Amino acid sequence: MLLATALASLIVIVPLFALLVKVPYAHFFSSLGADHALVAIRLTILTSIAAIVISAVLGLPLAWWLSHSPARISHWLRPILLAPIALPPTVAGLALLGLMSRGGLLGKYIYSATGWQMPFTTWAVIFAGVFVAMPFLVLITESTFSQLPRDVEEAALIDRASDGQLFWWIGIPQARSGIVTGFALAWARVLGEFGATMMFAGSLSGTTQTWTLQIYQELDINPDTAYSLSLLMLIIAMAIVIALRKPLREAFAR
């Protein structure tokens, strides 16, 4: 058991240590301050915020409904809605192209009516972010909604509260910790998205080239910048994980 524990820990820790060793600390801030790096970081932050806002507007009501819907429905619908969590990123990108490209199921009608297509635009980056991040938000918040005490809801129903009132005035306030946790995990997922964005949005500087795509490009052009950008992303990821240790345990403690 001790040997397995040590090996498992090393498999995770040693690559992270190697990344820390390879970072050119003498040029760290100058690498991050390069114009192309700042453009990619700014684009990623803006599109990730937009993706999370859309995910919240659509995903929170969905999570509430799943936590209160009949088991015979949610039992079959839930795996489909959460499939993007386990879906290979390139397959996710291909699915988005199949839907929104010029010849896609929905995209062909949009292109026919407007002459506009979503792939390889900033909107494609946002849409890809929603597709991969919203399942994380739904997963965490549904678990939180399911753990809320039912007596308050039952009392509100006796007073003839509507479903919308239950959601806004009882569900959201009581589940705020789980919602914050879901937001953070979903945002982290958007920040680290690569495959689906590459397939669906491409890597156009200033338009669709996100943080991770910039790292991929810089690895061939300027490895120092690639390692500096990677270190900053590692710092953000570690901060999120450390901050969410307790809320994550509580979210799945059922």
Each domain of the chain, given as residue ranges in start order, spans 43-251
pTM (two decimals): 0.90
- Of all residues in the chain, what percent carry a pLDDT higher than 90? 65
- At 33, phi and psi to the nearest 5? -85, -5
pLDDT surpassing 90 at residue 92:
yes
> Average model confidence (pLDDT) for the chain?
90
Separation of alpha carbons 243 and 231, rounded Å: 18
For domain 43-251, give the CATH number.
1.10.3720.10
The confidence band for 253, taking pLDDT boundaries of 50, 70 and 90, is: low
pLDDT digits (tens, 9 = 90+) for 135-179: 999 999 998 898 888 777 777 767 677 778 888 888 898 888 889
The confidence band for 102, taking pLDDT boundaries of 50, 70 and 90, is: very high
Cα-Cα-Cα-Cα torsion 21, 23, 25, 27, nearest 10 degrees, comes to 150
